[in-house]
């Protein structure tokens, strides 16, 4: 009986982990609204996650061995250097949470991210970037990708005349970047034989980039003065670390495709709930609800595997 419940339980856990991504978008968007600086918000989010991971790596002998393996692979040129910079995509994603989610809302932001992830995943699989090899796109997966893009159009349609719906292009690009990040992370994890090491490298690269960007912003605009006292605004990095940890544990049980499907479903459903209860922008519209449902269908279709080569 327990064996039969393992996969369903893993999918529920993955859905909850996906909801954490939406929660992170809400937290970072809220902090950005409070302090009036999305660049500093992104640096705070990534930096807090890095501090947590430094402690974890210091206490984990396996993670430290993973760092040593990765350094050795890079020195001997057996590992592609470009794959070390997956954290740049994560930095861009978190930056968009602080700059764009505050304007268009968590729900529309998440639909844009999902569409970008589906299209980016299709391209990454076709090119063969990542440890899984090349996956030829099936007609169903192409249809799912087109449907995901249509979902963005439906969600943004109701926003015309009320704001800047074209801003959904930024989370769309961020979603595609996350797909590339996942591919490069897979290569790092395979070389280091440690998911913690791969996550740690992401946060090191992302934090370094965001500190530079935030430094420029502070030099131009000054240091933010209206910092909120509520601790909830400073756990965006913790949400990201927990999400990655849960995904690393459950992928062995559910597999990549089912895990990704339930993960994105959690993102979409949580984003609508957050925008309805704690809106960053204008709240949930009929177009957003329809677009979210279409995006869910698109993810289910796109998750059907193609032929691996």
Per-residue pLDDT of 67-93, as tens digits, reads 999 999 999 988 888 889 988 998 999
- Cα–Cα distances in Å, from 124 out to 120, 130, 137? 6, 8, 10
**What pLDDT score does 248 carry?**
64
Q: Taking the alpha carbons of 68, 71, 76, 80 in that order, is the dihedral positive or negative?
A: positive
DSSP 208-267: HHHHHHHHHHHHHH---------GGGG-HHHHHHHHHHHHHHHHHHH-HHHHHHHHHHHH
Q: Contact at 8 Å (CB) between 28 and 95?
A: no
pLDDT of residue 308: 47
- Which residue did the predictor score with more confidence, 173 or 187? 173
**Rounded average pLDDT over 33-40:** 92
Please give the C-alpha separations between residue 138 and each of 116, 134, 227, 304, in angstroms, as whole numbers: 18, 12, 49, 8
Task: Tell me the C-alpha distance between 304 and 171, whole Å.
Answer: 24
Q: Above pLDDT 90, what percent of the chain?
A: 27
Phi, psi of 249 (to 5 degrees): -75, -45
Read off the pLDDT of residues 197-211 as tens digits, 9 standing for 90 and up. 988 998 999 999 999
Kindly state the average pLDDT of the residues 33-46: 93
Asked whether the beta carbons of 27 and 233 are under 8 A apart, the reply is: yes
Q: Give yes or no for residue 161 having a pLDDT over 50.
A: no
pLDDT at 240: 82
Summarised one tens digit per residue, pLDDT across range 250-302 is 756 655 555 666 777 888 888 888 888 888 776 777 777 888 888 888 877 77
* pLDDT exceeds 90 at position 50: yes
How far apart are alpha carbons 106 and 156 in whole angstroms?
Answer: 12
How much is the pLDDT for 139?
Answer: 82
> 24 vs 145, which has greater pLDDT?
24
Asked if 106 contacts 22 with a C-beta cutoff of 8 angstroms, the reply is yes
């Amino acid at each position: 009986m327990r064996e039969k419940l393992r996969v369903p339980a893993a999918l529920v856990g993955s859905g909850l982990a996906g909801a954490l991504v939406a929660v992170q978008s809400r937290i970072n968007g809220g902090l950005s609204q409070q302090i009036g600086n999305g660049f500093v918000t992104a640096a705070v989010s990534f930096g807090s996650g890095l501090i947590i991971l430094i402690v974890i790596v210091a206490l984990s002998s396996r993670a430290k061995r993973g760092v040593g393996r990765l350094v050795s692979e890079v020195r001997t040129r057996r590992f592609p250097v470009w794959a070390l910079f997956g954290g740049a995509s994560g930095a861009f994603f978190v930056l968009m949470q602080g700059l764009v989610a505050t304007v268009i809302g968590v729900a529309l932001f998440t639909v844009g991210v999902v569409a970008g992830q589906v299209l980016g995943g299709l391209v990454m699989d076709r090119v063969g970037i990542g440890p899984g090899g090349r996956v030829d796109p099936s007609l169903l997966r192409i249809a799912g990708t087109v449907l995901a893009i249509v979902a963005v159009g439906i969600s943004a349609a109701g926003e015309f005349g009320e704001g800047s719906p074209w801003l959904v292009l930024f989370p769309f690009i961020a979603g595609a970047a996350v797909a590339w990040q996942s591919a490069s992370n897979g290569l790092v994890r395979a070389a280091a034989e440690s998911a913690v090491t791969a996550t740690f490298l992401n946060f090191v690269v992302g934090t370094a980039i965001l500190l530079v960007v935030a430094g420029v912003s502070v030099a131009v605009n000054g240091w933010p003065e209206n910092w909120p006292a509520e601790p909830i605004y400073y756990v965006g990095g913790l949400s990201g670390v927990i999400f990655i940890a849960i995904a690393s544990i459950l992928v062995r049980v559910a597999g990549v495709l089912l895990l990704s499907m339930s993960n994105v479903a959690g993102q979409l459903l949580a984003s609508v709930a957050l925008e309805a209860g704690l809106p960053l922008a204008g709240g949930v519209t009929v177009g957003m609800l329809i677009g979210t449902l279409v995006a869910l269908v698109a993810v289910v279709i796109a998750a059907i595997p193609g032929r691996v080569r």
